[in-house]
Amino acid sequence: MTIMPTPAAAEAAPRRPAGARRPRWWSAIALVAAALVFLVPIYLFVSTAFKTNADINSWPLRLIPRSLTLDNFVNAWTLAPFDQFLVNSVVVAAIGTLLKVVLAISTAYAFAFLPFPGKRWLFIFMLGALMVPGHVTLLVNYITIGRLNLVNTYAGLILPGVASAFGTFLLYQFFRSIPRQVLEAAQLDGAGHLRTIVSFIVPMSRPAIITVGLIALIDEWNGFVWPLIATNSINMRTLPIGLLYLKENDGINDWGALMAGTLFVVLPMAVVFLLAQRYIVAGLAGGVVRR
Amino acid sequence: MSSGASDLGARSALSVGARRPVDPGGRAAELRLAATRRRRRGYLLFAAFALPNLALIAVFSYWPIIENIYLSFTTWDFISPQADLVGLLNYQALFSSSAFPEVLWRTLVWVVVVVVVTLVLGLALALLFAQRVRGTTAVQTLAFSPHVLSGAAIATIWLLIFDPHHGLSRLVFEAFGTSSPAWTTDGSWALWALIIVSIWKGLGFVAIVYLVGIQQIPAEVLEAARIDGAGRWTAFRRVVFPLLSPTTFFLVITQTISAFQAFDVIAMMTGGGPAGETTTLSWFIYDAAFSRTDVGTSSAASMIMFVVLMAITVLQFRFVERRVHY
């Protein structure tokens, strides 16, 4: 992402051209209002996860809890097997992300550096997949994993999402910017293709790979409709689907448990986002700007 | 795949150590042979590296469209040994029913409202961020965060807000002297509840994309507008907004495609109810197949979605092509 002078920065420059205005006081107020729009729901959700039932059910709304408790987490666990959901989510997200990144790297490398008859058409074939709407493929993919006897298995959860045209494309763009001499030097040193990838390509394209990996991780962790379809046994459900049990089991009388479960779903990605937001936003901005 | 690839790789395309010593007379032929062999190795490697990915794409992205077309001309319940061909009956039934045109209408309302409101508010937010008031970065992060969080989780958070007994909604409505509607169980409010949540989820993303666009507008252009005496509003209308039109177009397309497929928020908050009042096309496709086990109806509805989204995507590609020639 190139940093360009923003119009606002130009405006704030020490020498103001005639007619330029300094940022107005209402900008600050609007910013606070915008912050509240996002902060209030998040605050109410997190605080409810730690509120006692007495506080949750009392009216007027208790913005500041009288006391904090972890009971809601215990309740969430007794209403649904959240430990199992967590294991499933971690397995699916970890393996799914890893496979997706490895496949994207190897495919991008092949397209960037290896010969093949009709490679151009294969590339178009791959990019064409970006046009296929995910929701439209659900039914047949369910039938397919049914034929393969993969319903209620990790393989069935992971496989359909592993191929990545977008990630491959992003890495392909990046790989092509690597000078060919680097590869030639690597091969002169006797490195095979795998060595070249592991010791040269991957380290050189770390930002792009991290971006692809993070986007894959977020997609896998938050996946909803496919895990809902591809599993029906409660022991194979992932965390986001687990929330459905908290809701259905109790007709939402237990807000504390529902918010505790929600916190469990949200927290890992919130941490990932806060630690790595520049990669996530850069990937997104890169995708947009290139268009 | 990997071990074989590495063996081949040690002597392939760019490697020089692998050539056997040759007598001067047969050198040219030998070189040609080596070149062919290298190319063949390259092919093999390409296959090993790229085919798993391409095969998965074929099976899980392209094949579904083909089988879906077929299934949309059949009736099937997942269990019967085979699907029965019924021709166009599924499509006929969909359009002669009273429910399905309503589903399409509702989907249209959903998509238009979500996309328009998200873009307008997102642009406003981006312009606000561009002012670089102190604390902007923190608010940017905050606004963007819903984009990376599970839609299901965001839905439960908003269930809490909308709760007419203990939620923020009651507080707000009581401030205006009325009681809160039962958002998710009242047919006239439920769709709007879901739309609000979708807008809230997408707003930060749109704002950041717009902000990137705004930051790419050269300062001189704005300077020139100012020198010409343009006020803020005129500069925005005549300069900033037109220069953002590629961004706007990109966002309209991508947001429309994702609004069409919105699912987790509906599943978590209303399950398509009450009385079908929040059944959009995406929920209808799911519900027909997995609750009513009516594969034919579901796949016919899928085809309708496919055609609509395809048309939108083609529009995007034609636009991109046009821009390339600029």
Q: What is the pLDDT of residues A222-276, one digit of tens each?
A: 999 999 999 999 999 999 999 998 886 545 678 899 999 999 999 999 999 999 9
- How far is the alpha carbon of B20 from chain A, nearest alpha carbon, in Å? 16
The label of the residue with tokens 């977008």 reads: A166
- Are residues A142 and B289, on separate chains, in Cβ contact within 8 Å? yes
Least CB–CB distance from B15: residue in A133, A144, A187: A187
Length of chain B: 326
ipTM greater than 0.95: no
Alpha helices in chain A, H assignment, sequence order: 7-12, 25-50, 53-57, 71-79, 82-113, 119-128, 134-147, 154-162, 165-176, 180-188, 193-196, 202-204, 206-222, 225-230, 239-250, 255-290
For residues B51 and B36, the answer to whether their CB atoms sit within 8 Å is no
Residue B276 has pLDDT above 50, yes or no: yes
Say which DSSP state A133 is in.
Answer: -
Task: Determine the pLDDT at residue B127.
Answer: 94
What is the per-residue pLDDT across A160-198, written as a single tens digit (0 to 9) for each?
A: 999 889 999 999 999 998 888 888 888 888 878 888 888
Cβ-based contacts of A241 with chain B (< 8 Å): 152
**Interfacial B residues in 137-156 facing A (CB < 8 Å):** 138-139, 141-146, 148-153, 156
Cα–chain center distance at B13: 39
- Are residues A129 and B57, on separate chains, in Cβ contact within 8 Å? yes
Say which amino acid occupies B72.
Answer: S
For residues A143 and A151, the answer to whether their CB atoms sit within 8 Å is no
Say which DSSP state A51 is in.
Answer: B
CB atoms within 10 A of CB B74: 18
Q: Bridge-partner residues for B300, per DSSP? A: none
Q: Does B157 touch chain A (CB under 8 A)?
A: yes
Task: Determine the pLDDT at residue A120.
Answer: 93
Task: Determine the pLDDT at residue A217.
Answer: 95
- Are residues A59 and B166, on separate chains, in Cβ contact within 8 Å? yes
**Joined tokens for residue B154:** 């965001």
**Interfacial A residues in 143-182 facing B (CB < 8 Å):** 143-144, 146, 159-160, 162-165, 168
Residue B184 has pLDDT above 90, yes or no: no
For residues B263 and A241, the answer to whether their CB atoms sit within 8 Å is no
- Are residues B152 and A241, on separate chains, in Cβ contact within 8 Å? yes
Cβ-based contacts of A10 with chain B (< 8 Å): 219, 222-223
What is the per-residue pLDDT across B105-157, written as a single tens digit (0 to 9) for each?
A: 999 999 999 999 999 999 999 999 998 888 899 999 999 999 999 999 999 99
For residues B257 and A133, the answer to whether their CB atoms sit within 8 Å is yes
Task: Determine the pLDDT at residue A219.
Answer: 93
Least CB–CB distance from A225: residue in B16, B263, B306: B263
pLDDT cut 70: percent of chain A above it:
87
Q: What mean pLDDT value characterizes chain B?
A: 87
- Are residues B133 and A31, on separate chains, in Cβ contact within 8 Å? yes
The label of the residue with tokens 């001309």 reads: B73
Say which amino acid occupies A85.
Answer: F
Q: Report the phi/psi class of residue A269: left, alpha or beta, with left for phi > 0 and alpha for psi in -120 to 50.
A: alpha
State whether residue A114 is helix, strand or coil. Answer: coil
Provide the whole-model pTM. Answer: 0.87
Residue B183 has pLDDT above 80, yes or no: yes
Cβ-based contacts of B217 with chain A (< 8 Å): 7
Residue A286 has pLDDT above 80, yes or no: no
Say which DSSP state B75 is in.
Answer: E
- How far is the alpha carbon of B312 from chain A, nearest alpha carbon, in Å? 10
- What sign does the CA torsion over B318, A137, A80, B181 have? positive
Q: What mean pLDDT value characterizes chain A?
A: 86
- Mean of the pLDDT values across residues B240-268? 92
* C-alpha dist (Å) from residue B3 to A180, A200, B6, B8, B105: 25, 19, 5, 9, 55
- How far is the alpha carbon of A78 from chain B, nearest alpha carbon, in Å? 19
Top mean pLDDT of A22-31, B19-28, B175-184 is at: B175-184
Task: Determine the pLDDT at residue B238.
Answer: 87
Confidence of residue A92 (pLDDT cuts 50, 70, 90): very high
Q: Does A228 touch chain B (CB under 8 A)?
A: yes
> In whole angstroms, what is the distance from residue A183 CA to residue B267 CA?
50
C-alpha Rg value of chain B to the nearest Å: 28
- How far is the alpha carbon of A69 from chain B, nearest alpha carbon, in Å? 18
Residue B81 preceded by cis peptide, ω within 30: no
**Residue A285: partners with Cβ closer than 8 Å, 6 or more residues away:** A1, B208, B209, B212
Residue B25 has pLDDT above 70, yes or no: no
Task: Determine the pLDDT at residue A100.
Answer: 96
**Residue A225: partners with Cβ closer than 8 Å, 6 or more residues away:** A135, A138, B263, B264, B267, B286
> In whole angstroms, what is the distance from residue A290 CA to residue A166 CA?
13
**Joined tokens for residue B43:** 């092919």
For residues A280 and A75, the answer to whether their CB atoms sit within 8 Å is no
**Interfacial A residues in 71-100 facing B (CB < 8 Å):** none
Cα–chain center distance at A130: 17
> In whole angstroms, what is the distance from residue B113 CA to residue B108 CA?
8
The label of the residue with tokens 């047919």 reads: B187
* C-alpha dist (Å) from residue B165 to A61, A76, A255, B223, B273: 9, 21, 12, 53, 20
Say which amino acid occupies A114.
Answer: L
**Residue A42: partners with Cβ closer than 8 Å, 6 or more residues away:** B157
Across A111-125, A276-290, B269-283, least confident range: A276-290
The label of the residue with tokens 């919130």 reads: A270
- Are residues B61 and A132, on separate chains, in Cβ contact within 8 Å? yes
Q: Does A118 touch chain B (CB under 8 A)?
A: no
Strands B74-75 and B84-85: antiparallel
For residues B289 and A139, the answer to whether their CB atoms sit within 8 Å is yes
Q: Does B99 touch chain A (CB under 8 A)?
A: no
**Joined tokens for residue B66:** 């083909």
> In whole angstroms, what is the distance from residue B17 CA to residue B11 CA?
7
Q: Bridge-partner residues for B85, per DSSP? A: B74
Task: Determine the pLDDT at residue A22.
Answer: 58
- Mean of the pLDDT values across residues B197-219? 93
> In whole angstroms, what is the distance from residue A171 CA to residue A102 CA?
11
Suggest the residue from A143, A147, A193 to mutate for an interface test with chain B (most B CBs closer than 10 A): A193
User: CA nearest B153 in A: which residue?
Assistant: A262
Say which amino acid occupies B76.
Answer: W
For residues B268 and A243, the answer to whether their CB atoms sit within 8 Å is yes
Helix (H) or strand (E) holding B44: helix B27-57
Residue A17 preceded by cis peptide, ω within 30: no
Ordered domains of chain A (ranges, CATH): 26-69 (no CATH), 75-286 (1.10.3720.10)
**Joined tokens for residue A36:** 């509240």
Q: Report the phi/psi class of residue A180: left, alpha or beta, with left for phi > 0 and alpha for psi in -120 to 50.
A: alpha
**Interfacial A residues in 233-252 facing B (CB < 8 Å):** 239-241, 243-244, 246-247, 252
- Are residues B45 and A193, on separate chains, in Cβ contact within 8 Å? yes
Confidence of residue A23 (pLDDT cuts 50, 70, 90): low
For residues A60 and B171, the answer to whether their CB atoms sit within 8 Å is yes
pLDDT cut 70: percent of chain B above it:
90
Cβ-based contacts of B200 with chain A (< 8 Å): 37-38, 41
Work out how many CB contacts closer than 8 A connect A with B. 341
Task: Determine the pLDDT at residue B5.
Answer: 40
